[in-house]
Amino acid sequence: MTRPNETLETLLQQDYEHGFVTDIDTDTLPPGLNEDTIRAISAKKNEPEFMLAWRLKAYEYWRHLKEPHWAHLKYDPIDYQALSYYSAPKLKEGPKNLDEVDPKLIETYNKLGIPLKEQEWLAGVAVDAVFDSISVATTFKDKLNEMGIIFCSFSDAVQNHPDLVQQYLGSVVPHTDNFFASLNAAVFSDGSFVYIPPGVRCPMELSTYFRINARSTGQFERTLIIADKGSYVSYLEGCTAPQRDENQLHAAVVELVALDNAQIKYSTVQNWYPGDENGVGGIYNFVTKRAECRGHHSKISWTQVETGSAITWKYPSVVLKGDYSVGEFYSVALTNHHQQADTGTKMIHSGQHTKSTIIAKGISAGFAQNTYRGLVKVLAHADGAHNYTRCDSLLMGQHCGAHTFPYIESKNSRARIEHEASTSKISEDQLFYLAQRGIDTENAVSMIVNGFCKEVMKTLPMEFAVEARKLLGLSLEGSIG
Amino acid sequence: MLTIKNLEACIEDKAILKGIHLNIKPGEVHAIMGPNGSGKSTLANILAGREEYQITAGSMHYQNVDLAPLTPDERAHLGLFLSFQYPVEIPGVSNLYLLKSALNAKRKHMGLEEIDAIDFLTVVREKMKLLHMDDSYLYRDVNSGFSGGEKKRNEILQLLLLEPSLCILDETDSGLDIDALRIVAEGINLMRNEKRSILLITHYQRLLDYIKPDVVHILSDGKIVAEGDYQLATVLEAEGYEPFLQKKAGD
Ligand SMILES: Nc1ncnc2c1ncn2[C@@H]1O[C@H](COP(=O)(O)OP(=O)(O)OP(=O)(O)O)[C@@H](O)[C@H]1O
Ligand SMILES: [Mg+2]
């Protein structure tokens, strides 16, 4: 760590002074990370023994790891001892109503067409003021309960469904997976848990949106979704409204498991605070998302629209274990100003007759850097494997960059792997044409960019798609003079 | 009324327009003819506000407004419409969406509300019927995979929908088959009235047989070298540009 020894000493002393173990009742743990931190988190959450054991194993592993730097990203070193790893949800902090919220934020919400109630929630208006939306969530939950669907916070799942958690936790993203995933395993605070019983088709889009406490669990989130045989679920994560968070580092883990004939559709719109025009502030978003098509004829689709964060490091992947399973990755990554995104996917073909599709659209403006990094891997016994990949980059202006790193490792000579890529600039001819029809530059840019991303946008669920389309336009405001 | 005085323009130090004078009154139809590369499209683009050209002398006014400081969309809102010689493709954007956005941009400028989706379909289908276009055009991406003639027809559809007061048609007839030419010309003739000005850029007399111009100008090497009535086009058709170019060399 970069912190001088002296400061570290003081910090350690402080920790000692407050004492982790005796301090269980307070809301926030002091900064620092050691075995006691892990024990304190687990104790505060009243976790069963297997959880603590797993966290400790992860921590022990993580301690010996070095932060990875292979991605096409630049950022200052993160001081992991300076972070605080537990903070209980504070229910009544924040503004009392929308009048107390930064008008600029409200303006953006209005442009996106977000209803008032949701604006209150997003802006962090005290929880009792948005009680309505909680009761909406409760009604949904009753309906889901009837069908045997479990949709709850991760903490609730650990308490109420420990067997399922124990069976599936870490079975897709093990605690040894990578630096950020190990850290997450050791210290994650909460997240979402979904289980769809055999043969059940979840009747609504499940969304973190409805979980009021999601806001306070942002930093080290963990999501686990299990679709049992023949079931179907569509899950939405995040929202289009810009979300601010005092935590700079976000290291979430998402694990998806689809058993025989099951289908999971996972859609993300990520719009964390990207920092200002000069690249100051902004969230570091280091996420591990992986899905396993464990059963035959299972199918998992990732769709992501990434417009936020100062730094995005994210590769939603699919391990195609079951024969005839299908993996899909549809991505739009938009970077403006000084944002950096290094994102892509991995498709691991291990079952026979497995199929994967990758459509990645990168848009860069300003001084931003946008990297697609993808791996298509076909194992020796995966006969009949087929991948189709297309990566298109759109550049706006002279100072931004687009990079494409498609890796292919095939151990099966009969696998069909197709790759197409293109890079283009937003064309003056198109802008002039639209302007001649009376359409102003901002709307014209938004139209062209949305057209460029159409194949991906159309895979988003309806209600998400409308907002996401506006979001692409807003994120590029002012990028063409 | 459109007034162009002594307009000179260049691109990357290459002079293209070398002193153009042109007046088009409300209700008039003018035609510009001239050899390839003489500057016809350049003039149209400059009127519409394309930025890559530098105007080095002269002025352009429409309805007594100086066009020079206006952006292309501001000029469009003044009522200027350019039917492009080479309409661009916009992948992923449906024609319907473009037409609706353009119409709503105009309505917004006029202080009107956005048009209702059903009303819009009614209006646009009415115009499409005039041009013998079927519904599939609405759902295809703007000009993507359109044939040359289909693109031109699509330009005129936009013109009929937006009802501009100054219509500049850059070789709309090129690429249209014989029947399509007649249909499109009939569409344009429907737009003729005592307030609307039309500037036709064309190589062929055939279009002018359908849409009779009040004045024909011949542009050569960035200058208007001859002017006359409809008869000028007939002379041109018979004798080609040679006599006009020689006349220019002689004066
Ligand atoms: N963007 C440009 N860059 C360089 N030269 C240009 C550009 N635009 C036009 N020119 C040149 O200006 C001259 C006039 O071109 P313009 O397109 O106006 O001709 P035109 O009269 O419309 O010809 P045509 O009948 O073939 O359509 C040509 O020599 C052309 O090469
Ligand atoms: Mg031309």
Residue B11 beta carbon below 6 angstroms from any ligand 1 atom: yes
Measured CA to CA, the distance from residue A351 to residue A333 in angstroms comes to 30
Which range, A70-84, A102-116, A254-268, A397-411, is most confident? A254-268
Model pLDDT, residue A87: 64
CA nearest to A257, candidates A232, A285, A293, A289:
A293
- The band of A115, judged by pLDDT with boundaries at 50, 70 and 90, is low
Asked if pLDDT for residue A241 goes beyond 60, the answer is: no
Looking at residues A295-315, what average pLDDT do you find? 87
Q: Please indicate whether, in this complex, the C-beta atoms of A438 and B109 are within 8 angstroms of each other.
A: yes
Cβ <8 Å between A454 and B92: yes
| Range with the largest mean pLDDT of A300-314, A365-379, B206-220 | B206-220
Candidates A435, A454, A455; nearest CB to B71: A435
Cβ of B37 closer than 6 Å to ligand 1, yes or no, is yes
How large is the average pLDDT for residues A124-131? 44
Structure tokens at A122: 């997003």
Tell me the C-alpha distance between A169 and A225, whole Å. Answer: 10
Q: Does residue B135 belong to the interface with chain A, where contact is any CB pair within 8 Å?
A: no
Residues B5 and B24: their CA atoms lie apart, in Å, by 12
Residue A74 CB coordination number (10 Å)? 11
Task: Using the mean position of ligand 1's atoms as its centre, give its distance from the Cα of residue B40 in Å.
Answer: 8
| Mean pLDDT lowest among A235-244, A343-352, A365-374, B225-234 | A235-244
H-only helix segments in A147-250: 154-160, 162-168, 179-187
Residue A405 touches chain B, beta carbons under 8 Å: no
Separation of alpha carbons A475 and A453, rounded Å = 14
- The alpha-carbon gap from A274 to the nearest alpha carbon of chain B, in Å, equals 27
Give bridge partners of residue A377 from the DSSP assignment.
A348, A409
Query: What is d(CA B180, CA B191) in angstroms, rounded to the nearest whole number?
Result: 17
B114 contact residues in A (CB cutoff 8 A):
none
Q: Could you tell me if the CB of B16 is within 6 A of ligand 1? A: yes
B52: chain A residues, CB-CB within 8 Å: 428
pLDDT digits (tens, 9 = 90+) for B200-222: 999 999 999 999 999 999 999 99
Q: Please indicate whether residue B39, judged by its CB atom, sits closer than 6 Å to ligand 1.
A: yes
pLDDT of residue B251: 46
The CA radius of gyration of chain A, in Å to the nearest whole number, is 22
Q: In this predicted complex, what is the ipTM? A: 0.96
| Neighboring chain B residues of A455 at a CB cutoff of 8 Å | 92
Show the tokens assigned to A180. Answer: 């950020």
> Is residue A424 less than 8 Å (CB to CB) from chain B?
no
Instruction: Flag if B49 and A435 touch (Cβ within 8 Å).
Output: yes
Other Cβ atoms closer than 10 A to A78: 15
Mean of all residue pLDDT scores within chain A: 80
CATH code, residues B2-249: 3.40.50.300
Say if ligand 1 is within 6 A of residue B57 CB: no
Q: How far is the CA of B46 from the centre of ligand 1 (A)?
A: 12
CA-nearest residue to A447 within chain B is B93
B86 lines ligand 1 (CB under 6 A): no
User: Is the predicted pLDDT of residue A130 greater than 50, yes or no?
Assistant: no
Chain A residue numbers with beta carbons less than 8 Å from the beta carbon of B75 are 436
Q: Does A164 touch chain B (CB under 8 A)?
A: no
Least distant ligand from the CA of B38: 1
Say if CB B7 and CB B60 are below 8 A apart: yes
Tell me which long-range contacts B45-50 makes (C-beta under 8 A, separation of at least 24): B45/B82, B46/B7, B46/B9, B46/B17, B47/B2, B47/B4, B47/B75, B47/B80, B47/B82, B47/B168, B48/A432, B48/A436, B48/B72, B48/B75, B48/B76, B48/B80, B48/B82, B48/B168, B49/A435, B49/A436, B49/B74, B49/B75, B50/A432
Full DSSP string of chain B: -EEEEEEEEEETTEEEEEEEEEEE-TT-EEEEE--TTSSHHHHHHHHHT-TTSEEEEEEEEETTEE-TTS-HHHHHHHTEEEE-SSPPPEEEEEHHHHHHHHHHHHHHHTTPPPPPHHHHHHHHHHHHHHTT--THHHHSEETTT--HHHHHHHHHHHHHHH--SEEEEESTTTT--HHHHHHHHHHHHHH--SS-EEEEE-S-HHHHHHS--SEEEEEETTEEEEEESTHHHHHHHHH-SHHHHHHHHH-
CA of B170 to the centre of ligand 2 (A): 7
Interface touch A451/B93, C-beta < 8 Å:
yes
| Token pair belonging to A320 | 């195609």
A450 pLDDT exceeds 60?
A: yes
Percent of chain A with pLDDT over 90: 41
- Residue A72's φ and ψ, nearest 5 degrees, are -85, 60
- Indicate which ligand has the atom closest to the C-alpha of B9: 1
> For residues A442 and A122, what is the distance between their CA atoms, to the nearest angstrom?
26
How far, in Å, CA of A93 to CA of A285, rounded?
Answer: 25
Mutate to test the pocket of ligand 1, among B7, B12, B16 (most ligand atoms within 8 A of CB): B16
- Range of weakest confidence among A77-91, A312-326, B45-59, B102-116: A77-91
Most B CBs within 10 Å: which of A434, A442, A456, A457, as the mutation test of the B interface?
A434
- Inter-chain CB proximity B84 and A447 less than 8 Å: no
The predicted pLDDT at position A367 comes to: 82
Residue B40, exposed/middle/buried by CB under 10 A (0-12, 13-18, 19+)?
Answer: buried
Q: What are the C-alpha distances in Å from A114 to residues A117, A255, A446?
A: 8, 29, 19
Name the band, by pLDDT with cuts 50, 70 and 90, for residue A441.
confident
So what's the pLDDT on residue A467? 75
Is B130 within 8 Å of B154 (Cβ atoms)? no
pLDDT in 10s for each residue of chain B, 251 residues? 999 999 999 998 899 999 999 999 999 999 999 999 999 999 999 999 999 999 999 999 999 999 999 999 999 999 999 999 999 999 999 999 999 999 999 999 999 999 988 999 999 999 999 999 999 999 999 999 899 899 999 999 999 999 999 999 999 999 899 999 999 999 999 999 999 999 999 999 999 999 999 999 999 999 999 999 999 988 888 888 888 776 544 44
Is a pLDDT exceeding 70 seen at residue A430?
yes
A454 min Cα distance to partner chain B (Å): 6
Q: Chain A closest CA to B83's CA: distance in Å?
A: 9
Taking an 8 Å cut-off on Cβ atoms, the answer to whether B98 and A434 are in contact is yes
Q: What is the pLDDT of residue B239?
A: 87
Q: Which amino acid appears at position A470 of this protein?
A: K
Distance from CA of A342 to the nearest CA of B (A): 25
Q: Rounded to an integer, what distance in angstroms lies between the CA atom of residue A121 and that of residue A131?
A: 10
Interchain CB contact of B139 with A (< 8 Å): no
Interface check B141 vs A, CB under 8 A? yes
Closest by CA to B206, choosing from B174, B244, B247, is B174
The answer, yes or no, to whether residue A199 has pLDDT greater than 60, is yes
Domain range list for chain B: 2-249
Residue of A nearest to B82 (CA): A436
